[in-house]
Amino acid sequence: MVRELISAMHPRRWLKNIFMFAALVFGMKLTLPDLIGRSVVAFICLCLLSSASYLINDLVDTERDRHHPAKRDRPLAAGSLKRSWALGAAVILAAISLCMAFFVDLRLGLVASAFLGIEIAYSLVLTNFVILDVLAVAGAFVLRILCGSVVARATTFSPWLYVCASFLALFLALCKRRNELIVLGDLAAKHRKVLADYSSGLLVEMISVVSSSTVISYSLYTFWGAHVPENKSMMLTIPFVLYGIMRYLLLMQRRDLPGSPEEILIKDSPLVINNLLWGSAVLVILYLF
Protein backbone atom coordinates (compact mmCIF):
# COMPACT_ATOMS: atom_id res chain seq x y z
CA MET A 1 0.00 0.00 0.00
CA VAL A 2 2.75 2.44 0.92
CA ARG A 3 4.60 1.69 -2.28
CA GLU A 4 1.43 2.23 -4.28
CA LEU A 5 0.87 5.45 -2.39
CA ILE A 6 4.32 6.75 -3.23
CA SER A 7 3.82 5.81 -6.87
CA ALA A 8 0.51 7.73 -6.83
CA MET A 9 2.41 10.75 -5.51
CA HIS A 10 4.21 10.91 -8.90
CA PRO A 11 7.73 11.58 -7.54
CA ARG A 12 9.01 11.99 -11.11
CA ARG A 13 6.98 15.16 -11.48
CA TRP A 14 8.75 16.69 -8.49
CA LEU A 15 11.35 17.74 -10.99
CA LYS A 16 9.11 20.66 -11.90
CA ASN A 17 9.71 22.05 -8.44
CA ILE A 18 13.39 22.72 -9.13
CA PHE A 19 12.19 25.90 -10.83
CA MET A 20 11.87 27.08 -7.25
CA PHE A 21 15.62 27.50 -7.07
CA ALA A 22 15.60 30.10 -9.86
CA ALA A 23 15.41 32.95 -7.38
CA LEU A 24 18.35 31.57 -5.42
CA VAL A 25 20.50 31.34 -8.55
CA PHE A 26 19.43 34.54 -10.33
CA GLY A 27 19.21 36.54 -7.09
CA MET A 28 22.92 35.78 -6.45
CA LYS A 29 22.22 33.93 -3.19
CA LEU A 30 23.77 30.63 -4.19
CA THR A 31 26.73 31.21 -1.90
CA LEU A 32 24.70 31.72 1.29
CA PRO A 33 24.26 28.40 3.19
CA ASP A 34 21.33 29.45 5.40
CA LEU A 35 19.30 30.58 2.40
CA ILE A 36 20.14 27.34 0.59
CA GLY A 37 18.88 25.46 3.65
CA ARG A 38 15.62 27.40 3.70
CA SER A 39 15.19 26.80 -0.01
CA VAL A 40 15.71 23.06 0.34
CA VAL A 41 13.06 22.92 3.10
CA ALA A 42 10.71 24.93 0.89
CA PHE A 43 11.49 22.56 -1.99
CA ILE A 44 10.44 19.58 0.16
CA CYS A 45 7.25 21.44 1.13
CA LEU A 46 6.44 22.01 -2.53
CA CYS A 47 7.09 18.36 -3.43
CA LEU A 48 4.73 17.15 -0.68
CA LEU A 49 2.14 19.75 -1.62
CA SER A 50 2.23 18.84 -5.28
CA SER A 51 1.96 15.17 -4.33
CA ALA A 52 -1.17 15.96 -2.36
CA SER A 53 -2.60 17.68 -5.42
CA TYR A 54 -1.68 14.72 -7.68
CA LEU A 55 -3.49 12.38 -5.31
CA ILE A 56 -6.57 14.58 -5.45
CA ASN A 57 -6.28 14.81 -9.21
CA ASP A 58 -6.11 11.02 -9.57
CA LEU A 59 -9.04 10.64 -7.18
CA VAL A 60 -11.14 12.93 -9.33
CA ASP A 61 -10.02 11.35 -12.60
CA THR A 62 -10.11 7.69 -11.59
CA GLU A 63 -12.97 6.78 -13.93
CA ARG A 64 -11.44 8.51 -16.94
CA ASP A 65 -7.95 7.13 -16.28
CA ARG A 66 -9.35 3.57 -16.48
CA HIS A 67 -9.97 4.13 -20.21
CA HIS A 68 -6.55 5.57 -20.97
CA PRO A 69 -3.95 3.15 -22.38
CA ALA A 70 -1.12 4.37 -20.13
CA LYS A 71 -2.96 5.83 -17.15
CA ARG A 72 -5.03 2.69 -16.45
CA ASP A 73 -2.03 1.27 -14.60
CA ARG A 74 -1.97 4.09 -12.08
CA PRO A 75 -2.52 2.75 -8.54
CA LEU A 76 -5.92 4.40 -8.09
CA ALA A 77 -7.25 3.50 -11.53
CA ALA A 78 -5.98 -0.06 -11.22
CA GLY A 79 -7.53 -0.39 -7.79
CA SER A 80 -4.27 -1.31 -6.05
CA LEU A 81 -4.56 1.79 -3.83
CA LYS A 82 -7.67 2.30 -1.72
CA ARG A 83 -9.51 5.59 -2.24
CA SER A 84 -9.71 6.19 1.52
CA TRP A 85 -5.92 5.79 1.84
CA ALA A 86 -5.33 8.22 -0.98
CA LEU A 87 -7.71 10.82 0.43
CA GLY A 88 -6.25 10.49 3.92
CA ALA A 89 -2.71 10.78 2.61
CA ALA A 90 -3.59 13.86 0.57
CA VAL A 91 -5.04 15.65 3.61
CA ILE A 92 -2.13 14.71 5.88
CA LEU A 93 0.52 15.63 3.29
CA ALA A 94 -1.13 19.00 2.65
CA ALA A 95 -1.45 19.73 6.38
CA ILE A 96 2.15 18.79 7.18
CA SER A 97 3.67 20.72 4.32
CA LEU A 98 1.57 23.83 4.91
CA CYS A 99 2.58 23.81 8.61
CA MET A 100 6.22 23.46 7.58
CA ALA A 101 5.83 26.32 5.12
CA PHE A 102 4.24 28.67 7.67
CA PHE A 103 6.94 27.70 10.16
CA VAL A 104 9.76 28.60 7.75
CA ASP A 105 8.31 31.92 6.67
CA LEU A 106 4.85 33.40 6.97
CA ARG A 107 4.92 34.56 3.35
CA LEU A 108 6.06 31.12 2.16
CA GLY A 109 3.01 29.70 3.92
CA LEU A 110 0.74 32.11 2.07
CA VAL A 111 2.31 31.45 -1.32
CA ALA A 112 2.25 27.69 -0.68
CA SER A 113 -1.46 27.87 0.22
CA ALA A 114 -2.12 29.75 -3.00
CA PHE A 115 -0.15 27.07 -4.87
CA LEU A 116 -2.23 24.27 -3.33
CA GLY A 117 -5.41 26.25 -4.02
CA ILE A 118 -4.60 26.70 -7.68
CA GLU A 119 -3.60 23.04 -8.08
CA ILE A 120 -6.84 21.82 -6.50
CA ALA A 121 -8.91 24.30 -8.50
CA TYR A 122 -7.18 22.96 -11.60
CA SER A 123 -7.96 19.33 -10.79
CA LEU A 124 -11.59 19.99 -9.90
CA VAL A 125 -12.70 22.72 -12.28
CA LEU A 126 -10.21 24.62 -14.40
CA THR A 127 -8.93 21.58 -16.27
CA ASN A 128 -12.21 21.57 -18.21
CA PHE A 129 -12.12 25.19 -19.30
CA VAL A 130 -10.35 26.12 -22.50
CA ILE A 131 -7.44 28.59 -22.03
CA LEU A 132 -8.02 28.74 -18.26
CA ASP A 133 -6.49 25.27 -17.99
CA VAL A 134 -3.13 26.35 -19.40
CA LEU A 135 -3.24 29.61 -17.46
CA ALA A 136 -3.67 27.61 -14.25
CA VAL A 137 -0.62 25.51 -15.12
CA ALA A 138 1.38 28.66 -15.76
CA GLY A 139 0.06 30.21 -12.52
CA ALA A 140 1.30 27.23 -10.52
CA PHE A 141 4.67 27.62 -12.20
CA VAL A 142 4.99 31.27 -11.24
CA LEU A 143 3.95 30.47 -7.66
CA ARG A 144 6.76 27.90 -7.49
CA ILE A 145 9.25 30.59 -8.43
CA LEU A 146 7.64 33.01 -6.01
CA CYS A 147 8.07 30.42 -3.21
CA GLY A 148 11.77 30.29 -4.01
CA SER A 149 12.00 34.05 -4.17
CA VAL A 150 10.37 34.44 -0.73
CA VAL A 151 12.60 31.95 1.08
CA ALA A 152 15.76 33.19 -0.64
CA ARG A 153 14.89 36.78 0.35
CA ALA A 154 15.63 37.68 -3.26
CA THR A 155 14.82 41.37 -3.32
CA THR A 156 16.41 42.02 -6.67
CA PHE A 157 15.05 39.07 -8.60
CA SER A 158 14.35 40.47 -12.07
CA PRO A 159 10.62 40.80 -12.83
CA TRP A 160 11.41 39.86 -16.43
CA LEU A 161 12.17 36.35 -15.23
CA TYR A 162 8.63 36.02 -13.89
CA VAL A 163 7.29 37.14 -17.24
CA CYS A 164 9.64 34.78 -19.04
CA ALA A 165 8.72 31.86 -16.74
CA SER A 166 4.99 32.45 -17.25
CA PHE A 167 5.38 32.43 -21.02
CA LEU A 168 7.62 29.39 -20.87
CA ALA A 169 5.10 27.51 -18.72
CA LEU A 170 2.31 28.46 -21.13
CA PHE A 171 4.50 27.33 -24.00
CA LEU A 172 5.11 23.93 -22.39
CA ALA A 173 1.43 23.48 -21.51
CA LEU A 174 0.22 24.45 -25.00
CA CYS A 175 2.81 22.21 -26.64
CA LYS A 176 1.58 19.36 -24.46
CA ARG A 177 -2.02 19.92 -25.61
CA ARG A 178 -0.86 20.02 -29.21
CA ASN A 179 1.11 16.81 -28.89
CA GLU A 180 -1.89 15.09 -27.32
CA LEU A 181 -4.04 16.24 -30.25
CA ILE A 182 -1.47 14.94 -32.73
CA VAL A 183 -0.96 11.60 -31.00
CA LEU A 184 -4.51 10.80 -29.88
CA GLY A 185 -6.36 12.24 -32.86
CA ASP A 186 -10.10 11.70 -32.56
CA LEU A 187 -9.73 10.05 -29.17
CA ALA A 188 -8.18 13.19 -27.71
CA ALA A 189 -11.41 14.61 -26.30
CA LYS A 190 -12.19 11.37 -24.49
CA HIS A 191 -8.89 11.48 -22.70
CA ARG A 192 -8.99 15.18 -21.89
CA LYS A 193 -12.35 16.86 -22.22
CA VAL A 194 -10.92 20.30 -22.87
CA LEU A 195 -9.13 19.06 -26.00
CA ALA A 196 -12.48 19.15 -27.81
CA ASP A 197 -12.32 22.95 -27.51
CA TYR A 198 -8.78 23.23 -28.88
CA SER A 199 -7.77 22.74 -32.48
CA SER A 200 -4.31 22.26 -33.89
CA GLY A 201 -4.51 25.59 -35.74
CA LEU A 202 -5.54 27.47 -32.62
CA LEU A 203 -2.78 25.89 -30.57
CA VAL A 204 -0.20 26.71 -33.23
CA GLU A 205 -1.20 30.37 -33.12
CA MET A 206 -1.14 30.51 -29.34
CA ILE A 207 2.21 28.73 -29.29
CA SER A 208 3.66 31.28 -31.68
CA VAL A 209 2.52 34.10 -29.37
CA VAL A 210 4.01 32.60 -26.23
CA SER A 211 7.20 31.28 -27.81
CA SER A 212 8.17 34.65 -29.24
CA SER A 213 7.17 36.33 -25.99
CA THR A 214 9.43 33.92 -24.11
CA VAL A 215 12.40 34.76 -26.31
CA ILE A 216 11.81 38.49 -26.02
CA SER A 217 11.20 38.55 -22.28
CA TYR A 218 14.35 36.46 -21.77
CA SER A 219 16.26 38.92 -23.96
CA LEU A 220 14.90 41.78 -21.89
CA TYR A 221 16.15 40.01 -18.78
CA THR A 222 19.63 39.62 -20.26
CA PHE A 223 19.77 43.37 -20.87
CA TRP A 224 18.01 44.87 -17.94
CA GLY A 225 17.93 42.16 -15.28
CA ALA A 226 19.44 42.66 -11.84
CA HIS A 227 23.00 41.37 -11.29
CA VAL A 228 23.63 41.02 -15.01
CA PRO A 229 27.20 42.05 -15.90
CA GLU A 230 27.64 45.51 -17.39
CA ASN A 231 29.25 44.18 -20.56
CA LYS A 232 25.94 42.54 -21.60
CA SER A 233 27.62 39.12 -21.74
CA MET A 234 24.37 37.56 -20.52
CA MET A 235 23.00 38.03 -24.02
CA LEU A 236 25.35 35.26 -25.16
CA THR A 237 22.91 32.85 -23.51
CA ILE A 238 19.99 33.85 -25.79
CA PRO A 239 20.92 31.31 -28.52
CA PHE A 240 20.51 28.45 -26.00
CA VAL A 241 16.98 29.63 -25.26
CA LEU A 242 16.25 29.87 -28.99
CA TYR A 243 17.62 26.38 -29.58
CA GLY A 244 15.69 24.94 -26.64
CA ILE A 245 12.40 26.35 -27.87
CA MET A 246 12.96 25.27 -31.46
CA ARG A 247 14.05 21.79 -30.44
CA TYR A 248 10.95 21.45 -28.25
CA LEU A 249 8.73 22.56 -31.13
CA LEU A 250 10.38 19.93 -33.30
CA LEU A 251 9.90 17.15 -30.75
CA MET A 252 6.27 18.02 -30.14
CA GLN A 253 5.50 17.30 -33.80
CA ARG A 254 6.48 13.68 -33.37
CA ARG A 255 3.91 10.97 -32.93
CA ASP A 256 6.37 8.58 -31.37
CA LEU A 257 7.67 10.61 -28.44
CA PRO A 258 9.71 8.41 -26.10
CA GLY A 259 7.78 9.57 -23.05
CA SER A 260 5.38 12.26 -21.93
CA PRO A 261 5.97 15.84 -23.10
CA GLU A 262 7.44 16.70 -19.69
CA GLU A 263 9.76 13.72 -19.60
CA ILE A 264 11.23 14.81 -22.92
CA LEU A 265 12.90 17.67 -21.09
CA ILE A 266 15.14 15.14 -19.33
CA LYS A 267 15.17 12.41 -21.98
CA ASP A 268 16.05 14.09 -25.25
CA SER A 269 19.84 14.31 -25.20
CA PRO A 270 20.27 17.36 -27.48
CA LEU A 271 17.80 19.23 -25.29
CA VAL A 272 19.48 18.09 -22.09
CA ILE A 273 22.91 19.10 -23.38
CA ASN A 274 21.53 22.46 -24.45
CA ASN A 275 19.95 23.07 -21.05
CA LEU A 276 23.13 22.08 -19.23
CA LEU A 277 25.19 24.40 -21.42
CA TRP A 278 22.71 27.19 -20.79
CA GLY A 279 22.83 26.56 -17.04
CA SER A 280 26.62 26.54 -16.91
CA ALA A 281 26.83 29.67 -19.03
CA VAL A 282 24.41 31.47 -16.70
CA LEU A 283 26.32 30.37 -13.59
CA VAL A 284 29.68 31.39 -15.04
CA ILE A 285 28.40 34.77 -16.21
CA LEU A 286 26.56 35.58 -12.98
CA TYR A 287 29.09 34.34 -10.44
CA LEU A 288 32.51 34.52 -12.09
CA PHE A 289 32.31 37.74 -14.08
Nearer to other proteins (CB atom), residue 39 or residue 219: 219
Quick one: which of 253, 276, 283, 287 contacts other proteins (CB under 8 A)?
Answer: 253
Nearer to other proteins (CB atom), residue 99 or residue 209: 209
Q: Minimum Å distance from CB 280 to other proteins?
A: 18
Q: What mask, x for binding other proteins by CB under 8 A, covers residues 220 to 239?
A: x--x--------x--x--xx
Quick one: which of 68, 193, 247, 267 contacts other proteins (CB under 8 A)?
Answer: 247
245 near other proteins, rule: CB under 8 A:
yes
Contact at 8 Å (CB) between 144 and 17?
Answer: yes
Nearer to other proteins (CB atom), residue 90 or residue 207: 207
Compute CA 270 distance to the chain's CA centroid, rounded to the nearest angstrom: 20
Nearer to other proteins (CB atom), residue 162 or residue 240: 240
Contact at 8 Å (CB) between 149 and 23?
Answer: yes
Quick one: which of 91, 92, 99, 204 contacts other proteins (CB under 8 A)?
Answer: 204
Count residues contacting other proteins (CB under 8 A)?
23
Helix (H) and strand (E) counts for the chain? 13, 0
Amino acid (1-letter code) at residue 254: R
Closest Cα partner for 24 from 8, 37, 35? 35
216 near other proteins, rule: CB under 8 A:
yes
Which one of the spans 67-75, 98-106, 135-143, 203-211 is the region binding other proteins (CB under 8 A)?
A: 203-211
Nearer to other proteins (CB atom), residue 3 or residue 232: 232
Kindly list the distances between the CA atom of residue 259 and the CA atoms of 10, 36, 70, 263, in Å, as whole numbers in the listed order: 15, 32, 11, 6
The Cβ-side half-sphere exposure at 3, using a 13 Å CA radius, reads 1
Considering Cα of 3, then 263, then 91, then 45, what sign does the dihedral take? Answer: positive
| DSSP type of residue 193 | G
Nearer to other proteins (CB atom), residue 21 or residue 198: 198
Q: Minimum Å distance from CB 123 to other proteins?
A: 30
Cα(158)–Cα(27) distance, integer angstroms? 8
Q: Minimum Å distance from CB 235 to other proteins?
A: 6
Which one of the spans 78-86, 106-114, 210-218, 280-288 is the region binding other proteins (CB under 8 A)?
A: 210-218
Quick one: which of 156, 199, 212, 280 contacts other proteins (CB under 8 A)?
Answer: 212
Which one of the spans 38-46, 108-116, 187-195, 206-214 is the region binding other proteins (CB under 8 A)?
A: 206-214
Cα(173)–Cα(168) distance, integer angstroms? 9
Kindly list the distances between the CA atom of residue 215 and the CA atoms of 140, 268, 269, 283, in Å, as whole numbers in the listed order: 21, 21, 22, 19
Cα(34)–Cα(36) distance, integer angstroms? 5
Contact at 8 Å (CB) between 30 and 24?
Answer: yes
Q: Minimum Å distance from CB 131 to other proteins?
A: 19
Contact at 8 Å (CB) between 57 and 123?
Answer: yes
Q: Minimum Å distance from CB 25 to other proteins?
A: 23
Residues that bind other proteins (CB under 8 A): 204, 207-209, 211-212, 215-216, 219-220, 223, 232, 235, 238-239, 242-243, 245-247, 249-250, 253
